[in-house]
């Protein structure tokens, strides 16, 4: 290998390491999770001005959560790419309970259905959703 080839190889390696560093720095390829109840509440409050969360049902894996405020309104927060997205849970949202899992089918098709593993609390949150359809 001559000197020009060594310089080219070195420059290529530096460029690759720079790209790897840059991708990590801007968060591409991250695996966003909702860390805890406080994090879920903060995300819901950031999504809607005036929303103040008081109760949380967080998916066991941390990919989504339902946040309820004092008035009983609920907000679904979910991982969306490298960030989070939130939508209100109202009478237009279809909820399906399957043992420890609650699936929410949003009216906005691009948001998609979200399945939360809530354990024994899944039934309680499903019943809270049924109150919307009665009211």
31-63 per-position pLDDT tens digit: 789 999 999 999 999 999 999 999 999 999 999
Q: Which two tokens stand for residue 35?
A: 């860390």
Confidence class for position 83, pLDDT limits 50, 70, 90: confident
Strand 64-69 versus strand 74-80 pairing type: antiparallel
Sheet of strand 53-58, all strands in order from the earlier edge strand to the far edge = 53-58, 64-69, 74-80, 83-89
Q: Indicate if the pLDDT at residue 134 is higher than 60.
A: no
Sequence-separated (6 or more) residues with CB below 8 Å from residue 21: none
Q: Minimal CA–CA distance to 111: which of 73, 130, 84? A: 84
Tell me what pLDDT residue 103 has. 96
Q: Domain boundaries in the chain?
A: 1-30, 37-134
Tell me what pLDDT residue 30 has. 65
Q: What is the 3-state secondary structure (H, E, C) of 22-51?
A: HHHHHCCCCCCCCCCHHHHHHHHHHHCCCC
Q: Would the pTM of this model clear 0.85, i.e. be above it?
A: no
Tell me what pLDDT residue 133 has. 57
Task: Give me the residue label for tokens 């946040």.
Answer: 67
Q: Is the dihedral of CA 98, 100, 102, 103 positive or negative?
A: negative
Report the top-level CATH class of 37-134: mainly beta
**What phi-psi label fits residue 58: left (phi over 0), alpha (psi between -120 and 50 degrees) or beta?**
beta
């Amino acid at each position: 290998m001559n000197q020009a080839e060594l310089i080219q190889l070195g420059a290529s390696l530096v460029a690759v390491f720079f790209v790897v560093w840059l991708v990590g720095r801007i968060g591409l390829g991250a695996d966003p999770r909702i860390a805890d109840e406080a994090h879920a509440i903060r995300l819901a409050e950031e999504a809607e001005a005036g929303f103040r969360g008081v109760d949380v049902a967080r998916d066991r894996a941390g990919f989504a959560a339902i946040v309820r405020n004092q008035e009983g309104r609920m907000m679904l927060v979910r991982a969306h790419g490298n960030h989070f997205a939130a939508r209100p849970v109202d009478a237009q949202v279809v909820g399906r309970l399957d043992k420890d899992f609650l699936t929410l089918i949003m009216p906005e098709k691009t948001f998609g259905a979200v399945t939360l593993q809530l354990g024994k609390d899944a039934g309680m949150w499903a019943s809270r959703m049924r109150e919307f359809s009665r009211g």
